[in-house]
Amino acid sequence: MKYVKPILMILHGVITIFLGTIVALMLTADVGDFKSATFAKTLKEKEFEIQKMAFLSVEKDSTIEQLKLTQELLNAKIVSINITKDSIDEANKSLTKDLSVLEKQNLEYKKKEDKKLQNQTRINELNSRREQDIKDIAKTFNKMKSKELKPILENHYDSDTIVKIYREMSVKKELILAMDKHPESVKFFSRVFGAKKPKKLATK
């Protein structure tokens, strides 16, 4: 019995040390595993972040390339638009020049037409005045004898004018007699009667 107590104490100490060692080993293993798991997780997170950054970098480069391509297309369109604008400007200049020429030609044509109209108006006025003069002369000749008419007709009127006067007269016999020796009597009688001289003097 004398040695039992020391032996039990020794065994208790050994068991305590053994259990302590096991617990320490277990705790050490758990901490290591925890640290290892934490490191692995951190590593994976870092790897994901790196991959994400790499993806973002690639996406950024792709976006930059797309922007460059879009800018090039826009520049090409701008150049095309400028070329088109220059062409339109040239066409407008040409049209403006042609329009100016046409306006000038139209103005000249209008001036000519206005002049023609003025001339025609003047001619119409003269003809109207001449017609009135013929009527006035015919009225005067209606009152005159052939002896009075003869020198007037021979010195102042051609056959065409005399025919017009004749057609406006109401008393025509004296004029016919006065035309007997007129230089253009043949022409006059031909136009009035259809013959050189009337077989019988008309009293129209």
For 161, the domain range is: 142-204
147 and 87 co-located in one domain = no
Per the domain annotation, does 46 fall within a domain? no
How remote is the C-alpha of 26 from its chain's centroid? 95
Q: How far apart are CA 126 and CA 129, in angstroms?
A: 5
* Secondary structure letter of residue 142 according to DSSP: T
Total tally of structural domains belonging to the chain: 2
* Secondary structure letter of residue 171 according to DSSP: -
What token pair was written down for 133? 């003069």
Q: How far apart are CA 88 and CA 111, in angstroms?
A: 34
Would you say 195 and 189 are in contact if contact means Cβ atoms under 8 Å apart?
A: yes
Per the domain annotation, does 23 fall within a domain? no
pLDDT for the residue 171: 83
Return per-residue pLDDT of the chain as tens, 204 residues. Answer: 556 566 667 766 767 776 666 656 555 554 455 456 676 667 777 777 777 777 777 776 778 888 888 888 888 888 888 888 888 888 888 889 888 888 888 888 888 888 888 888 877 787 788 889 889 998 999 988 989 989 988 889 998 999 999 989 888 888 988 888 888 888 888 888 876 566 555 444
Q: Could you tell me where the DSSP H helices lie in 142-170?
A: 146-156, 159-168
What token pair was written down for 162? 């005399």
Per the domain annotation, does 21 fall within a domain? no
Per the domain annotation, does 32 fall within a domain? no
